[in-house]
């Protein structure tokens, strides 16, 4: 037993040495093997595919740490100057903004990124860039709700939707970002009233994910569900025919079309402040914005591409063009904490 | 006569002195291990001194009542369900003979092989609109019946159904090994079946039952995935909210401290209820002679025992297999084999290291006769009460300090640029797992160690044989089964572990649980089925092995 343990220990020590050796080489550039270390919250098959393409194209190896953005940010904070992270990818702008304000990212000057990412989808000082867009839309029961009854997010707090609204927990970042956008547009007071109104109108206590809200609409638990557009795309293309049929039973509505536009959020990336492979990191993000990569994002994951030269998936095109809220997404991050506090005060679980 | 007498006195004195010296050495070693294991907890405790964040009072005003209410509800709800299923099944399989008893006996342990958040997803899939049950009811024209499982009652059910084997295993071991003689005596005295179970067996089995129950409740308080998905706010979901949504680690640490004190209360309760019980080595006890009973009763018992197996294993696995079938073409590839091997390797290494720590801790504390050392050694198992994510952060605080110091030294003294020695390597991961799962290893080893009566090692020591030699020659063979079950239990837990792995895992290494989570966290629950099934499959083999061990014992 003792021997076994000794062996195990020495193996793990060897392992750790091997790892750090590798990093040395990368840092000193002595090795021919180039790499880029990516901390990402995205975990889609399509991403793996893209990373492989990048490796083939540039010869730069992509190393992945996959965890929630919060945990990655915590990790980078603690690692400090020695952090091996080159790129941070999140699924919402709020977390990127937080990484920036925690001094974890650095500004990047790249003509390619400048040209291809619209200004409201990136940081004003180029600390981070949006990769893909998702819209927060309303899925409604076609048989019980007329499209003409729907108008804005603000309207969800009105009495006519009493016991009709399905929406997930306030711990969900998409809801937090929506709330942040309402704080910016309508002010804190109104936002709090709005949240309290929505809580009043909830058909049930918040639970499950976005897909569950859609299922609950079809099951008749409520009439409206607030969901992320790309989950609807995924449901419509699910392997479970039952899920496809469920998604087909709801109508989709893009709120606030007559005003500021529908709330959107991005999945985005920034270069880490202490990136050991900064050049590779920039190349990596540029690659993700390129037409080829954007097409993969759009078509296999039902997200809206940030690069305007790329068209969205046929499924999404069917839903039609829509006007998007062009509020700079940095604002979402700045108001995130306030949003959570207001949610709690309004009793939004 | 006189000289001989004084000689004797002299030698006893010198032995006493040596004993005292030994005692100090073992005390120090015990403290060293406790300190090493408790380091992350201490790192977090130090943070407590910084005071709570500004949102602490916001949390107290708006959320704390809900957290406490739900956590207390889960403690009671799960205790009741787990006790009924765990102790009930243990008694039935230990006392009675019925069809398929042998198979059911190990099937009852299998729910441990499924991570509880996966059970939660599977059950949501069963009860969902468009879920399996819904489709069956629709087919039968009963679609109006809809059962909503996504609430605190459902959560208590899901957690109980996936955790009751802890109680089942510990109480069955007691019934099989300790209860034979007593039961025989009570039947001879004409005491009825019911009475002898409730009046005799239950009180005697209480320490074993409660030991299992404490593990269950620690897991319950620690659950994040299932509670989060079912929309039930507990301490653990609150910790995540405070830390990440409100961006206040200080507040999260305060919540963790509250949670830890709840667990402390549980441990103290367990100690208190054991206060008058000296477990003696009842080695001579015969195995229970199983009752056969009328055929109708036999089948009745069979169905009773089948229920938890169905609920805890067969139904969720069937749901997962169905999903796997739907998604196999796009999820499955050969990488899964590699992934399974990696998970297997990491779990095995961790299991061995953790069990080593646990064994050393138990025996160092035993060899030291300083008062209070044993209680202090119990502190080592606290890591189990702390959410994985918090343990991970707790590990990073001290190890990063070391790593940065190390890099600095290497750079300034030797002019060599190195990377982190601990963080981002297997060392940090295995360390964190050991901290988290020491309790899992500690309990089975301790309970077998308690059964070894002190007289043998004592006499061996009086003969001047050293502690280690005594341990390897005499005690180790006697507690071997405890050690093996500890290895298996930790192995399974590591295989299922998620939040800590997510934060600390090295580049290039992935585990099945992480893979399953990647899918599930993005609402691709169906795609998560294949990695989940691989976890279950990998964990099932050791579980069956564990069962063999326990029966042999």
Give the mean pLDDT per block of 10 residues along chain B (553 residues). 53 68 75 85 80 82 89 94 95 90 90 90 86 80 78 94 92 80 76 79 84 87 86 86 78 81 77 64 62 87 94 94 86 80 91 92 80 76 78 82 82 75 84 91 82 72 74 78 87 87 78 83 83 88 80 65
Residues A311-333, mean pLDDT to the nearest whole number: 87
Do B343 and B512 meet the contact criterion of CB atoms below 8 Å apart?
Answer: yes
Query: Within 10 Å of residue A152's Cβ, how many Cβ atoms?
Result: 16
**3-state secondary structure at position A171:** coil
> Is A311 exposed, middle or buried, given 0-12, 13-18 or 19+ CB atoms closer than 10 A?
middle
At residue A20, the pLDDT reads 42
Instruction: Measure in Å the smallest separation between the Cα of B426 and chain A Cα atoms.
Output: 6
Residues of chain A found within 8 Å of residue B505, distances taken between Cβ atoms: 65
Q: Look at A206 and B231 and tell me if their CB atoms are within 8 Å.
A: yes
Q: Look at A66 and B518 and tell me if their CB atoms are within 8 Å.
A: yes
Q: What residue of A is the nearest CA neighbor of B155?
A: A207
Position A1 pLDDT exceeds 60:
no
At residue B16, the pLDDT reads 67
Residues A179, A148 share a domain = yes
- Domain with residue A184: its CATH number is 3.40.190.10
Instruction: Measure in Å the smallest separation between the Cα of A115 and chain B Cα atoms.
Output: 31
Per-residue tokens: A228: 């992320």
Is A38 within the bounds of a domain?
yes
ipTM of the complex: 0.77
Task: Say if residue A43 carries a ligand binding annotation.
Answer: yes
Rounded Cα distance between A273 and A77, Å, is 11
Whole domain around residue A81: which residue ranges? 33-133+264-310
Position A238 pLDDT exceeds 80:
yes
Q: Look at A176 and B430 and tell me if their CB atoms are within 8 Å.
A: no
Candidates B424, B429, B441, B519: best to mutate against A (most CBs of A within 10 A) is B424
Is A315 within the bounds of a domain?
no
| Domain count along chain A | 2
Task: Note which residues in 60-99 of chain B have CB less than 8 A from chain A.
Answer: 62-63, 66
Residues of chain B found within 8 Å of residue A19, distances taken between Cβ atoms: 419, 424-425, 506-508
Instruction: Measure in Å the smallest separation between the Cα of A206 and chain B Cα atoms.
Output: 6
What does the H/E/C string look like for B382-437? HHHHCCHHHHHHHHHHHHHHHHHHHHHHHHHHHCCCCCCCCCCCHHHHHHHHHHHH
Rounded Cα distance between A176 and B244, Å, is 12
Residues A167, A300 share a domain = no
Rounded Cα distance between B132 and B105, Å, is 28
Instruction: Measure in Å the smallest separation between the Cα of B129 and chain A Cα atoms.
Output: 6
pTM of the model: 0.82
Instruction: Measure in Å the smallest separation between the Cα of B331 and chain A Cα atoms.
Output: 8
Residues of chain B found within 8 Å of residue A15, distances taken between Cβ atoms: 425-426
Q: Look at B427 and A16 and tell me if their CB atoms are within 8 Å.
A: yes
Residues A225, A183 share a domain = yes
At residue A67, the pLDDT reads 79
At residue B367, the pLDDT reads 78
**3-state secondary structure at position A130:** strand
Rounded Cα distance between B236 and B498, Å, is 14
Of residues B5 and A136, more confidently modeled? A136
Instruction: Measure in Å the smallest separation between the Cα of B489 and chain A Cα atoms.
Output: 18
With both helix axes pointing from N to C terminus, report the angle between B426-451 and B335-367 in degrees, rounded to the nearest 10. Answer: 50
Is A28 within the bounds of a domain?
no
Q: Which of B128, B404, B417 sits opposite A215 (nearest CB)?
A: B128
Task: Note which residues in 474-503 of chain B have CB less than 8 A from chain A.
Answer: 499, 502-503
Task: Say if residue A263 carries a ligand binding annotation.
Answer: no
- Distance of alpha carbon B441 from its chain centroid, rounded? 8
Task: Note which residues in 216-235 of chain A have CB less than 8 A from chain B.
Answer: 216, 218-219, 231, 234
Rounded Cα distance between B237 and B500, Å, is 15
Of residues B126 and A14, more confidently modeled? B126
B511 in contact with chain A, both atoms CB, cutoff 8 A: no
Non-local (6+) Cβ contacts of B550 within 8 A are B169, B172, B173, B176, B481, B485
Residues A222, A196 share a domain = yes
Residues A133-142, mean pLDDT to the nearest whole number: 93
Q: Using 50, 70 and 90 to split pLDDT, how confident is the model at A152?
A: very high
**3-state secondary structure at position B218:** helix
Residues A339, A226 share a domain = yes
Rounded Cα distance between B522 and B525, Å, is 8
Q: What residue of B is the nearest CA neighbor of A13?
A: B427
Instruction: Measure in Å the smallest separation between the Cα of B418 and chain A Cα atoms.
Output: 6
Residues A282, A206 share a domain = no
Per-residue tokens: B181: 């003689």
Residues of chain B found within 8 Å of residue A243, distances taken between Cβ atoms: 130
Q: Look at A340 and B62 and tell me if their CB atoms are within 8 Å.
A: no
What digits encode the pLDDT tens for the residues A291-305? 999 999 888 888 899
Q: Where in chain B are the domains? A: 30-552
Residues A286, A146 share a domain = no
Candidates B124, B523, B526, B528: best to mutate against A (most CBs of A within 10 A) is B523
Do B501 and B392 meet the contact criterion of CB atoms below 8 Å apart?
Answer: no
Instruction: Measure in Å the smallest separation between the Cα of B30 and chain A Cα atoms.
Output: 19
**Segment of A65-69, A125-129, B244-248 carrying the highest mean pLDDT:** A125-129
The residue assigned the tokens 């044989």 is B465
The torsion defined by the Cα of B274, B275, B281 and B286, in degrees rounded to 10, comes to: -50
CATH code reported for the domain at B30-552: 1.10.3720.10
Residues A182, A249 share a domain = yes
Q: Which of A15, A84, A239 sits opposite B326 (nearest CB)?
A: A239
Give me the DSSP letters along B275-328: TT------TTPPPP--B---HHHHHHHHHHHHHHHIIIIIHHHHHHHHHHHHHH
Q: Using 50, 70 and 90 to split pLDDT, how confident is the model at A11?
A: very low
Q: Look at A74 and B393 and tell me if their CB atoms are within 8 Å.
A: yes
Rounded Cα distance between B531 and B512, Å, is 6
Range of weakest confidence among A202-206, A232-236, A246-250, B516-520: B516-520
Closest Cα to residue A298, out of A288, A263, A213, A286?
Answer: A288
Residues A302, A196 share a domain = no
Q: Using 50, 70 and 90 to split pLDDT, how confident is the model at A22?
A: very low
Instruction: Measure in Å the smallest separation between the Cα of A219 and chain B Cα atoms.
Output: 6
Give me the DSSP letters along A253-305: E-TTTTTT-B-EEEEEEEEETT-TTHHHHHHHHHHHHSHHHHHHHHHHH-PEE
At residue A15, the pLDDT reads 44
Residues A254, A204 share a domain = yes
At residue B306, the pLDDT reads 95
Give me the DSSP letters along A186-219: H-HHHHHHHHHHHHHHBSS---S-HHHHHHHHHH
- pLDDT above 90 coverage of chain A, percent: 50
Rounded Cα distance between A280 and A273, Å, is 14
B144 in contact with chain A, both atoms CB, cutoff 8 A: no
Per-residue tokens: B427: 């060392």
At residue A31, the pLDDT reads 46
Position A34 pLDDT exceeds 80:
yes
Do B273 and B290 meet the contact criterion of CB atoms below 8 Å apart?
Answer: no
Task: Note which residues in 247-276 of chain A have CB less than 8 A from chain B.
Answer: none
B278 in contact with chain A, both atoms CB, cutoff 8 A: no
Q: What residue of B is the nearest CA neighbor of A346?
A: B62
Do B445 and B482 meet the contact criterion of CB atoms below 8 Å apart?
Answer: yes
B427 in contact with chain A, both atoms CB, cutoff 8 A: yes
Question: How much helix, strand and coil, in percent to the nearest 5, is found in chain A?
Answer: 50, 15, 30
A295 in contact with chain B, both atoms CB, cutoff 8 A: no
At residue B45, the pLDDT reads 78
Phi, psi of A88 (to 5 degrees): -115, 125
Q: Using 50, 70 and 90 to split pLDDT, how confident is the model at A153?
A: very high
Q: How many CB pairs under 8 A join A and B?
A: 177
Of residues A248 and B30, more confidently modeled? A248
Residues A340, A243 share a domain = yes
Do A23 and B419 meet the contact criterion of CB atoms below 8 Å apart?
Answer: yes
Q: Which helix (H) or strand (E) holds A250?
A: strand A250-253
Q: Look at B130 and A242 and tell me if their CB atoms are within 8 Å.
A: yes
Position A115 pLDDT exceeds 50:
yes
With both helix axes pointing from N to C terminus, report the angle between A2-28 and B426-451 in degrees, rounded to the nearest 10. Answer: 170
At residue B135, the pLDDT reads 81
B514 in contact with chain A, both atoms CB, cutoff 8 A: yes
B229 in contact with chain A, both atoms CB, cutoff 8 A: yes
At residue B277, the pLDDT reads 60
At residue B7, the pLDDT reads 61
B409 in contact with chain A, both atoms CB, cutoff 8 A: no
Is A75 within the bounds of a domain?
yes
Rounded Cα distance between A71 and A102, Å, is 13
Helical H segments across A29-126, by residue range: 45-58, 69-79, 93-101, 111-116
Rounded Cα distance between A101 and A96, Å, is 9
Is A13 within the bounds of a domain?
no
At residue A165, the pLDDT reads 93
B506 in contact with chain A, both atoms CB, cutoff 8 A: yes
Rounded Cα distance between B416 and B409, Å, is 9
Residues of chain A found within 8 Å of residue B499, distances taken between Cβ atoms: 71
Position A5 pLDDT exceeds 70:
no
Residues A218, A79 share a domain = no
**3-state secondary structure at position A66:** strand
| Beta pairing partners, A35 | A61
Q: Using 50, 70 and 90 to split pLDDT, how confident is the model at A183?
A: very high
- pLDDT above 70 coverage of chain A, percent: 91
A171 in contact with chain B, both atoms CB, cutoff 8 A: yes
Do A129 and A294 meet the contact criterion of CB atoms below 8 Å apart?
Answer: no
Of residues A288 and B515, more confidently modeled? A288
Is A225 within the bounds of a domain?
yes
């Amino acid at each position: 037993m003792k021997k076994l343990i000794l062996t195990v220990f020495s193996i793990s020590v060897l392992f750790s040495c091997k790892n750090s050796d590798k990093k040395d080489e990368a840092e000193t550039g002595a090795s021919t093997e180039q790499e880029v270390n990516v901390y990402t919250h995205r975990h889609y098959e399509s991403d793996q595919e893209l990373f492989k393409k990048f490796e083939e194209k540039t010869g730069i190896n992509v190393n992945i740490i996959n965890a929630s953005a919060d945990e990655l940010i915590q990790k980078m904070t603690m690692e400090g100057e020695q952090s091996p992270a080159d790129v941070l990818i999140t699924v919402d702008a709020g977390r990127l903004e937080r990484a920036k304000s925690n001094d974890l990212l650095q500004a990047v000057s790249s003509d390619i990124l400048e040209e291809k990412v619209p200004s409201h989808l990136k940081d004003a000082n180029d600390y981070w860039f949006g990769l893909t867009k998702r819209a927060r839309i309303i899925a409604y029961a076609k048989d019980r709700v007329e499209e003409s009854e729907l108008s804005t997010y603000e309207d969800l707090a009105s009495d006519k939707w009493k016991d009709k609204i399905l929406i997930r927990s306030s711990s969900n970042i998409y809801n937090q970002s929506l709330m942040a956008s309402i704080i910016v547009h309508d002010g804190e007071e109104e936002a709090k009233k709005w949240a309290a109104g929505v809580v009043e109108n909830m058909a049930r206590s918040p639970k499950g994910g976005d897909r569950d809200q859609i299922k609950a609409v079809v099951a008749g638990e409520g009439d409206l569900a607030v969901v992320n557009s790309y989950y609807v795309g995924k449901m419509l293309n699910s392997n479970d025919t039952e899920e496809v049929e469920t998604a087909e039973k709801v109508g989709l509505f893009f709120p606030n079309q007559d005003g500021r536009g529908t709330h959107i959020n991005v999945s985005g990336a920034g270069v880490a402040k202490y990136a050991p492979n900064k050049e590779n990191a920039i190349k990596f993000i540029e690659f993700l914005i390129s037409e080829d990569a954007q097409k993969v994002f759009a078509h296999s994951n039902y997200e809206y591409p940030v690069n305007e030269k790329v068209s969205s998936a046929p499924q999404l095109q069917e839903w039609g063009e829509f006007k998007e809220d062009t509020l700079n997404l940095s604002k979402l991050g700045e108001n995130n904490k306030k949003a959570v506090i207001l949610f709690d005060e309004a009793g939004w679980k | 006569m006189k000289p001989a007498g004084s000689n004797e006195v002299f030698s006893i004195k010198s032995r006493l002195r040596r004993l005292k010296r030994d005692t100090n050495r073992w005390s120090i070693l015990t403290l060293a291990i406790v300190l090493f294991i408790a380091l992350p907890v201490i790192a977090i405790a130090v943070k407590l001194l910084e005071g709570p964040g500004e949102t602490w009072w916001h949390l107290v005003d708006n959320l704390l009542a809900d957290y406490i209410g739900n956590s207390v509800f889960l403690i009671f709800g799960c205790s009741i369900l787990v006790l009924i299923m765990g102790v009930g099944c243990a008694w039935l399989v230990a006392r009675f003979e019925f069809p398929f008893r042998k198979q059911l006996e190990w099937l009852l342990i299998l729910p441990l092989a499924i991570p509880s958040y996966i059970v939660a997803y599977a059950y949501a899939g069963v009860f969902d609109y468009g879920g399996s049950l819904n489709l069956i009811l629709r087919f039968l024209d009963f679609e109006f019946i809809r059962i909503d499982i996504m609430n605190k009652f459902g959560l208590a059910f899901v957690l109980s159904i996936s955790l009751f084997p802890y109680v089942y295993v510990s109480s069955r071991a007691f019934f099989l090994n300790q209860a034979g003689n007593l039961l025989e005596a009570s039947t001879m005295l004409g005491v009825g079946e019911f009475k002898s179970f409730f009046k005799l067996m239950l009180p005697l089995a209480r320490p074993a039952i409660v030991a299992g129950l404490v593990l269950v409740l620690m897991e319950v308080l620690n659950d994040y995935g299932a509670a989060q998905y079912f929309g039930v706010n507990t301490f653990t979901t609150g910790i995540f909210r405070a830390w990440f949504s409100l961006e206040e680690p200080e507040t999260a640490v305060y919540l963790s401290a509250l949670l830890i004190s709840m667990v402390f209360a549980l441990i103290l309760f367990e100690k208190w209820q054991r206060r008058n019980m000296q477990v003696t080595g009842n080695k001579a006890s015969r195995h229970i002679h199983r009752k056969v009973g009328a055929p109708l009763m036999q089948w009745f018992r069979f169905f009773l025992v089948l229920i938890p197996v169905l609920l805890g294993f067969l139904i969720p696995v069937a749901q997962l297999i169905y999903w796997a079938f739907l998604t196999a073409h796009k999820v499955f590839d050969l990488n899964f084999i590699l992934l399974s091997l990696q998970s297997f390797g990491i779990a095995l290494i961790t299991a061995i290291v953790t069990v080593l720590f646990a064994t050393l801790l138990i025996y160092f504390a035993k060899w030291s006769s300083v008062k209070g050392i044993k209680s202090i050694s119990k502190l080592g198992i606290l890591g189990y009460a702390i959410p994985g994510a918090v343990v991970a952060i707790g590990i990073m605080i001290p190890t990063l300090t070391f790593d940065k110091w190390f890099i600095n030294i290497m750079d300034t003294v030797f002019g060599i640029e190195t990377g982190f020695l601990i963080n981002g390597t297997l060392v940090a991961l295995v360390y964190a797992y050991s901290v988290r799962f020491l309790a899992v290893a500690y309990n089975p080893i301790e309970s077998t160690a308690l059964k070894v009566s002190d007289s043998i090692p004592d006499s061996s020591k009086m003969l001047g044989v050293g502690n280690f030699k005594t341990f390897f020659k005499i005690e180790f063979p006697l507690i071997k089964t405890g050690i093996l079950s500890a290895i298996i239990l930790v192995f399974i837990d590591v295989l299922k572990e998620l939040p800590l792995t997510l934060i600390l895992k090295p580049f290039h290494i992935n585990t099945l649980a992480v893979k399953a989570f990647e899918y599930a966290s993005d609402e691709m629950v169906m795609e998560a089925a294949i990695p989940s099934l691989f976890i279950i499959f990998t964990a099932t083999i050791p579980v069956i092995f564990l069962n063999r061990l326990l029966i042999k014992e």
